[in-house]
């Protein structure tokens, strides 16, 4: 029973982690909470759904194409909604982000309608695999596998590649990075591209998991992932991964313990607790004012 809940929780949590990574990466570089990030997740789910149902493309290819689609979308959003406000107050960019969020969810409502849509039943052949007393479905395995692969790929990019090093340098010291010859605008675009593609993957996977894609799915998922990013320490990549999985497990355990009507409240209760007890999050660093 406990093992079963743990499997369910980690599966759900890994999708939160995929979304949380985008929040944390963008915050790490330009100190902006990208409130439109949840809507990118929603757009990713719709893009995947559209390709599977209308264009009849294989689910894996659809997943990749949806990631590419959102990559472009993230870069374009940054270009038109955030970059012109780079030198204004942080509040202006935040309000712009909320505006983009409302715009995208309303656009989805107009294009796809208000009712939730589902992926076709045979998108992923469902097989239950016995794991001692618990069971894991082929879908859960797939979600875990894809999430783990994407997070490892991200870790590789950030740790080992030149652009990844430039991203870390920029997040640690914006001006000094530009003094090294880093094109900071390009680094910011790449950050949005990577974060948005992970959110798109999360969107497609969640869409299949719940068999439901709707215009407002980005709101709750985005807020929970934001809570996960804060729990892990906003700006920290391992923190977002851990925070997402922790939140997923906590939510599933809470439901299993009988508090199913508080399902969505659990994440926010944790958010409030973190902000009260350790505002920098588990992996976060003390914010040092630069002189």
Q: Which residues bind other proteins (CB under 8 A)?
A: 162, 165-166, 168-169, 172-173, 175-184, 291
Spatial distance between the Cα atoms of 172 and 167, rounded to a whole number of angstroms? 9
Question: Tokens for 11?
Answer: 């599966």
In the complex, minimum distance from the CB of residue 163 to other proteins, in angstroms, rounded to a whole number: 10
Residue 25 CB coordination number (10 Å): 26
For residues 213 and 116, the answer to whether their CB atoms sit within 8 Å is yes
Structure-block tokens of residue 3: 């093992």
Q: How far apart are CA 93 and CA 85, in angstroms?
A: 6
Q: Nearer Cβ to other proteins, position 130 or 162?
A: 162
By beta-carbon proximity to other proteins, the closer residue of 35 and 242 is: 242
Separation CA 148–CA 32 (nearest Å)? 26
Q: Which CB sits closer to other proteins, 137 or 178? A: 178
Q: How far is the CB of 83 from other proteins (least distance, A)?
A: 14
| Nearest distance from C-beta of residue 25 to other proteins, angstroms | 15
Taking the least distance from each CB to other proteins, the nearer of 173 and 264 is 173
Nearest to 16 by CA among 252, 222, 272, 239: 222
Output 207 or 239, the one with its CB closest to other proteins.
Answer: 239
Look up residue 67 and give its two tokens.
């990631």
Minimum CB distance to other proteins, residue 10 (Å): 28
Q: Of 118, 78, 120, 113, nearest to 216 (Cα)? A: 113
Q: Which is nearer to other proteins, 41 or 283 (CB)?
A: 283
Which of 56/160 has CB closer to other proteins? 160
Cα angle value 136/142/145 (rounded, 5°): 105
Question: Shortest approach of other proteins to residue 22 CB, angstroms?
Answer: 20
Residue-wise burial string across 255-283, b where 16 or more C-beta atoms lie within 10 A, e elsewhere = beeeeeeeeeebbeebbeebeeeeebbbb
Calpha distance 249→228 (Å, rounded): 12
């Amino acid at each position: 029973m406990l093992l079963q809940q743990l499997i369910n929780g980690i599966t759900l949590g890994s999708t939160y982690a995929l979304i949380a990574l985008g929040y944390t990466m963008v915050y790490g570089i330009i100190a902006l909470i990208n409130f439109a990030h949840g809507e990118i997740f929603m757009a990713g789910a719709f893009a995947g759904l559209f390709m599977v149902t209308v264009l009849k493309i294989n689910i894996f290819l659809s997943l990749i194409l949806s990631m590419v689609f959102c990559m472009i979308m993230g870069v374009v959003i940054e270009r038109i909604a955030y970059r012109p406000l780079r030198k204004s107050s942080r509040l202006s960019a935040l309000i712009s982000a909320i505006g983009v969020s409302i715009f995208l969810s309303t656009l989805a409502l107009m294009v796809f309608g208000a009712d939730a849509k589902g992926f076709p039943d045979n998108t992923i052949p469902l097989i239950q695999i016995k794991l001692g007393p618990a069971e894991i479905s082929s879908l859960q395995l797939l979600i875990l596998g894809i999430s783990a692969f994407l997070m490892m790929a991200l870790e590789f990019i950030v740790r080992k590649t030149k652009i990844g090093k430039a991203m870390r340098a920029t997040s640690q010291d914006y001006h000094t990075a530009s003094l090294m010859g880093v094109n900071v605008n390009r680094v910011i675009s790449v950050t949005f591209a990577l974060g948005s593609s992970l959110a798109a993957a999360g969107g497609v996977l969640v869409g299949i998991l719940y068999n439901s894609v709707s215009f407002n799915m980005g709101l709750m998922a985005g807020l929970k992932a934001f809570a996960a990013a804060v729990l892990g320490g906003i700006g920290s990549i391992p923190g977002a991964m851990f925070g997402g999985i922790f939140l997923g497990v906590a939510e599933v355990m809470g439901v299993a313990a009988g508090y199913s009507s508080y399902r969505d409240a659990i994440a926010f209760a944790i958010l409030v607790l973190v902000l009260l007890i350790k505002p920098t999050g588990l992996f976060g660093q003390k914010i040092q004012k630069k002189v």
